[in-house]
Every structure is written in C-alpha cells, then in structure tokens.
Structure 1
Amino acid sequence: MPVPPPPEPIPGARLLFSLDPSVSHLNHGSFGAVPVAVQRAQQRLRDEMESNPLRFFTQGLVDRITHARRHLAAFLGADPDGTALVGNVTAGAAVVLQSLALRPGDEVLTTDHGYGAVALSVARECERTGAVSRTVTVPLTATDEEVVEIVRAGLRPGRTRLLIVDQLTSPTARLFPAAALVAVARERGVPVLVDAAHAPGMLPASVASVGADFWVGNLHKWAYAPRGTAALVVAEPWRERIQPLVVSWEQGSGFPTRVEWQATLDYTGWLAAPVGLFVLRSLGVDRVRAHNAALAAYGQRVVGDALGVAPERLPAPGGPAVAMRLVPLPPGVATTLDAARALRAEIADRLAAEVSVAGWNGRGYLRLCGQVYNTPEEYDRLAVRLPTLLARR
C-alpha cells in the first residue's frame, strides 16, 4: 500500500516561528512552539511590567486578565464566568482534586492512558485523604463503544467520587469519546474531569459539547499561547466549591478570580495568549487542523514503513483531526520510562530530531506530531536514519 501524499505546505508558516532550523521539531505536543508575534507581544507586556511594577500589578491587572480569559473562553466554546486561567492541565487537575474534599472510602477512577503527572496528583490526594485510586485498562485498539463499556463497568456509584478521562491521550495519541463517557458517568451520579491538554487549537469540539463537570486544556500547545497558559472550565453547580491551591488577595472575589490571582506571578503570558489565537485564525483554523493531521499521518506511515510496521498495525488515532500519531518501536525497545527518555535523548543528539518516546504497557512507542512549521522531508530523514540507530542500540 503506497504512502499517501503529504499535504501542501501553508506558505510562510515556518517563518512565523523562531525554531532552530537545524533540528526537526516533530514533538509539538509536548511543549508547543510560540510564534514570534506572540513572543513580541509578551515581551512588550514584560517591558510594561518592569517599567513600573507597582502600576502594572495594582491598576487594572485583574480586569485585563478577565478580558483575556473571556477572549480565550469564547474560542474554546466555554462559559467565561465558569473558566479560570491556570498554569497547565496538571495544575488545573490539582485544583479540582483538592476541592472535592475526598474522604476514606472514596475512589478516583482513571484509565491507563492518563498523563503521568495527573496520576501522581491523584496518588498524592488519595494518600492525603485516605481515598483510593483505581485504574481501568483500555486496549489501544478498543473502539469507542468498547471504551465506554469498559469505563461504565469500572464506575461504582456511591464510591466513585471522580472519573478522570482524557479527551486526547498523551502517551497513546488516542481520541477518546469524551462526551459519551461524561454521559455514562452522569447517569451514575459521578462527576467527570476531562484532561483536554491537547484539545485547544487541535480539536474542533467545543467545551460545551463535551459537557464535563470539569474540563482543563492547555492553550500553549496547539493554540500558540505562551507556555503556562491553560483554561480550567467548571460547571455551574461546582464553581463555589473550587478553591485555589494558594490563597491570595482575591480570595473573596469567588471563582474564577480567586483561582487566577496568585499575587506576583508573571501574567504576561495570559495577556498575550489572544495574540496566539490571532495567528491561528490568520492562517485559518480549519486549514491548520487539516494540514497538521494529514502531515502527522504521513509521518506515521513513512517512519512505520521504515521500521517494518505494516500499515494495518499502525495505531489509529480515532479521528481525522488528530495531529499526533504513534509508531510502535521494535519489541524490547523503550519499554520503561527511563529507557524511553534515553532513546528520546539519543534521537535528539544523533539525528537532530525532537520526538516523543513513551513506554506504555510493556511496549515502546514513538509519537510524532504535525505542525505548520514541519515539512515532509523531516519525517523522510527520520525514516532513513532511525532504523540504523535502533539497530546499533
């Protein structure tokens, strides 16, 4: 089966970024890349802050944050009054967990596709409160219907106090049926936290269409915001129960301001985040999504072919808009966290390519992303050189 042709590049898109041209940046999903226009907007805000810190922090900053939040919430399809800006998904998840007042005997249910830092946050909160963390196993090849049934069977009404599911999984690049999972949990009276780290900018679904009690997504990955910009969206019945991790001077203002205001943080990234949406819209949101997904699919095929993986054995992402794809590595390669980190570093050092490598359920996987600054030739070079590197290891 021939490799499908790559998408046509978006003219001039590569010039919008300040990435090192000697490196193939094929891992946008981990830390994103901030467009030059957004960098400059943030620097102007930093210059303003440093020119008169007292004025910057005490005269209208809360209102400026609120204005930025409303702009970002509108893009996400979320209620701005139920949205709080936070540093990242892990921080948002921690806010939710510590606001639930878990008790001994309560359970937090997750899947084995969850992000490691969120799992650590769950473990810490359970240890602190006496609650229990449970994980259900979802096969990589499970259909949406099977995912729903697996999670349904894992719910324990009366004991499960929170279900955490990913909208698009980080280690396995799999699109989960988030809205269907929320509906199943709601039938059993279980609130749901949706980890949507990769959704803003990549996936077309609005927050409202997911319907979760809690939804948290990063804007610094696929929505071109400065790093440290994420949105925690909370359904109306829960808002007064949400407390910040650190109490500061806006505590009496209620949600969302009391979560957002942390005194002397650098808020310039949040204030500059709408510029990232301007860049995305200037390129064409649908155009960017289609390009990135098609390019990731191309990269998966050419690298998969080079490693001898038949096309039908390449994991399917579960949706045409997904701009992250997995390539299984040879058996025994990168099966643990330490081994995966070592291989990622070796690929970066020897092949000048930044990729994500994960060990998941005893198998190593290469995760490739597609972004407007990438070219098909970058995946072609990796496909030529990676088999030799793996053979030498």
Structure 2
Amino acid sequence: MTASTTAGEFPGGPGLFRLTPEVAHLNHGSYGAVPVPVQEVQAAYQREAHADPDAFFLAVPDRLAAARTRVAEHLAEDPGGLAFVSNATEAANLAVNAAPLFPGDEILVTDHGYGTVVAAAARRAPLVTARLDPDLADEDAVREAVLAALTPRTKVAVLDHISSPTARIIASPELLADLADRGITTVVDGAHALGMLADPLAGRADFWFGNLHKWGYGPHGSAVLAVAPAHRSRVQPLVPSWEDRHGFPRAVEFRATADYTGRLAAPEGLDLLARLDAAKVRAHNAALAAYGAELLAGLPGLRPLPHSPGVAMRSLRLPPGTAETREQAVALREELATRHRIRVLVWPWPGGGGIRVCGQIYNRPEEYERLAAVLRAYV
C-alpha cells in the first residue's frame, strides 16, 4: 500500500482551525497552529485576567501546578519533575545551565541541532560536533555516528529527539542508554516529539523538553521541561521570582506579571488530541507527509531522505545549486509563500539544500499536489 492510497482528509479536521484557506499550510512543524477550542479556552483566561488582575495573578502558581498535573498525566510523567516553560530554547538554557560540568569538559551536539539550542550549549562549554550525513540509513547508523564523536572530555550530549530540518529520530532509547552507560548527561530537544510520538519521553533522558504548541495543539508560548530527580535541585530559574523558595518546578514557572494563559490552556490541546484519537491523528498525519514526499520525489533532482517510522514530517534533498546557503533557502521559501501561497520549510545544506513537508489534520492531499506542480519550475 502506497502513501497515495492511505492519505486523505481527516473528518472535521480543517474546521478545527482558523487558518487562511487560500494558503497551503504545509509547515506545521515550525510554529504549529492552535485549534479553535483551545483558542477559546485561552481567551476565557485572558478575559479573567483583565477582569480582576489581582485575583488572577495571585492564583497563578497554584493553577499552573494543576495544569501541569494534567499535562503530566498525558505524558505518564511525575508532575514534580515537569515544569512549564515558554519554548524549547528557554528549556535548553535551563537544562545546560543545570548540567554537571567542570572546566575542560565538553558538550556534544550534532550538525542537525536547532540553532538556538546549540547556541545555548555553546554558552556553557566548548562543543564537539557529531557530523550526521542526512542519508544515514537508520537509527543504528545515527547512534554509531554520535558515539564515534565522543571524546574523553565529553560530559554532556545535547541531541534532537526528532531533528527539525531532516525529520529524523536521533535520541533513540538505545542511544540514550549507551550514553548513560558512558556517564554522559543527556539533554534531549523534543520540540517535535510531544503529540507526534506515542511515548515522547521514552528513553528517560536526564533533561527532556518539548513544545506543547506544535503537535500537542497547545497555545503558542507553551512548552515543558522534564528533569530526572538527580538534577532537579540544580535547575535555577532564568529570572528570579517570589516562587524561588519552592524550587523546581514552581520557581521555573512563575515570572511575576507575565502572560500565563497559554500554559493554563495547554492541557486542553492534549485533551483534544485524545478525544480525536491520538493514534488515528498520528497515523493520518504521517500518511499525509508520506504522500507529499512521494509526490515531490517524482520531480527531477529531488531525493527523499531516510525517515523515521510514524513521523509526520518528511524531508527531501534539493538539486545541487539549490538552497545551498541560508540566503538561497530563505529566498526559495519566501518565493513559494508570497507568489504561490504555500508554506514549507526550506533548509540550507552544502551540495543542495532540503525541503520539508508536514502533515496535519487540517491538510488535504491536493495541497501537496499543488506544491509539486509549483516546485517543478524551481528545480
């Protein structure tokens, strides 16, 4: 059975969002999209905050704890080891700052890592980079490449759970176990895992963080950081607050007069995913992404990259001379967006950049067909 025989429209899916219908939104992995029921819950919290600010903000720490408990239930995680944060980049800074490092120690990253997460690691210690060929065949090959890059000074590894540009699982449970056996503290960027994978915390990294606003249907500005018990006492908030005396996680979550409505509404996104049947949603999204990749692979010069099973994003390499630099990649991305009203991720890579398509319940097969027809003129 090919992707073309399994891709279709998710019943009622497009109606759950307020996306501009003339635009083919094939880039859910970058910013996500908030379903209408979740928007409405957040709007109710915003009205409450405007109606009586004192009452709202005085109650925020306890209400965040209650919302965190609801999220933890979806993740089968201890709510005492989970903290709300604004996004994956904030979580990365909290994690690397808390990781046990001494002068002369190194942090391992990969050349698939998200730029601001890698930058957070570079602020803390010298980096050693594992070079991962986008064409590596499977998770075992990825694991071997990461382990081969370790040096005697490597004490922390910062790894993508699912890489943003190439849509590959890197931090597999097997790799995390191998690193733990070597005494390496693991920090996993799970920006795309929460909502996309059935068990996003599989492997139990020392630090794991993921966005709720992408595949978990939460509002923008909502994410979580999970910390193993041995490290929780070292996690220090980036901004001091009156909740510091409580330690992790409350000290991390509270920032005085900030907008907490997205975090309070975030559990509604995971509840909605469960009501829609999370397994059905994941299967649908993966099938749509596969259909899009199948269409693009038929264009001259485009080559599909190996993908991980069940991932709702697919990437393909573009021909040599196309999107090899950041400037070229941005230019092609914006040309597709402004001229053709199609949103995709185009990422730079020497020898030919890449293009990534995503599948979500608001997407339809004809949107990928439209992309394939348009892209032919550029490759």
- TM-score normalised according to structure 1 size: 0.93
CA displacement at 1:156 relative to structure 2: 3.0
Partner in structure 1 of residue 144 of structure 2: 149
**For the Cα contact (< 8 Å) 1:171–1:360, is it kept in 2?**
no
Deviates more, 1:225-234 or 1:141-150: 141-150
1:69·1:83 contact (CA, 8 Å) conserved in 2? yes
Give the counterpart letter for 1:153 in structure 2: A
User: 287, 290, 298: which one pairs with 1:294?
Assistant: 287
Aligned to 1:197: 191
Q: Is the 8 A contact 2:99 2:231 kept in 1?
A: no
Q: What residue in structure 2 maps to residue 18 of structure 1?
A: 18
What amino acid maps onto 1:350 in structure 2? R
Structure 2 residue aligned with 1:5:
5
1:215–1:233 Cα contact (<8 Å) kept? yes
Return the offset for 1:362. Answer: 4.0
Letter in 2 for 1:148: R
- 2:330 and 2:97 map into 1 onto residues whose CA distance is 30
Equivalent pair of 1:337/1:358 in contact (CA under 8 Å): yes
* Aligned-residue offset at 1:61: 1.6
Partner of 1:231 in structure 2?
224
Partner AA of 2:299 in structure 1: A
Q: Does residue 1:95 correspond to 2:85, yes or no?
A: no
Task: Name stretches of at least 5 consecutive residues in structure 1 with no aligned partner.
Answer: none
Matched-pair contact (CA < 8 Å) for 1:247–1:262: yes
Post-superposition, which runs of at least 4 consecutive aligned residues in structure 1 deviate over 6 A?
none
What's the CA shift string for 1:345-376, capped at 9, x where partnerless? Answer: 11001111011000134431110000000000
TM-score, structure 2 length as denominator?
A: 0.96
Query: Do structure 1's residue 268 and structure 2's residue 267 form an aligned pair?
Result: no
Q: Deviations over 1:248-302 (max 9, x none)?
A: 1111101100011111110000111111112212211000000000000000111
Deviation per CA, 1:106-163: give whole Å up to 9, x if none: 101011111111112222x14xxxx311101112222222222222222234x22210
- How many angstroms apart in 2 are the aligned matches of 1:228 and 1:192? 24
Distance in 2, Cα, partners of 1:362 & 1:306? 18
RMSD of aligned Cα (Å): 1.6
| Partner SS state of residue 192, structure 1 | strand
Partner of residue 354, structure 1: 343
Q: Answer whether contact 1:178 1:194 (CA < 8 A) is retained.
A: no
Q: Is the 8 A contact 2:301 2:318 kept in 1?
A: no
Give unpaired runs (5+ residues) of structure 2.
Answer: none
Asked whether 1:314 is paired with 2:304, we answer: yes
Task: Summarize deviations over 1:82-112 as a string: whole Å, max 9, x none.
Answer: 0011011111000112223644311010111
Specify the SS of the correspondent of 1:360: coil
2:373 to 384, 389, 393: 384
Instruction: Quote the sequence identity (%).
Output: 47
The alpha carbon displacement at 1:308 in A equals 4.7
Paired with 1:77 and 1:194, the residues of 2 have a C-alpha distance of 17
Q: Are the counterparts in 2 of residues 77 and 206 from structure 1 also a CA contact under 8 Å?
A: no
What residue number does 1:63 align with?
62
State how far apart, in whole Å, the 1-side matches of 2:66 and 2:354 are.
41
Q: Distance in 2 between matches of 1:35 and 1:277?
A: 11
Aligned to 2:275: 282
Assess if the C-alpha contact under 8 Å between 1:225 and 1:274 holds in 2: yes
Code of the residue aligned with 1:90 in structure 2: it is T
Letter of the 1:250 partner, please give it.
Answer: E
Q: 1:90 to 1:82 in 2, by over 3 A?
A: same
**Contact 1:324/1:367 (CA < 8 Å) preserved in 2?**
yes
Contact 2:96 2:187 survives alignment (8 Å): no
Match in the other structure for 1:170: 164
Q: Which amino acid aligns with 2:9?
A: P
Deviation per residue, 1:49-92 (Å, 9 max, x gap):
0111111011x221110011111112122221100110111110
Name the CA distance, whole Å, in 2 between partners of 1:250 and 1:101. 24
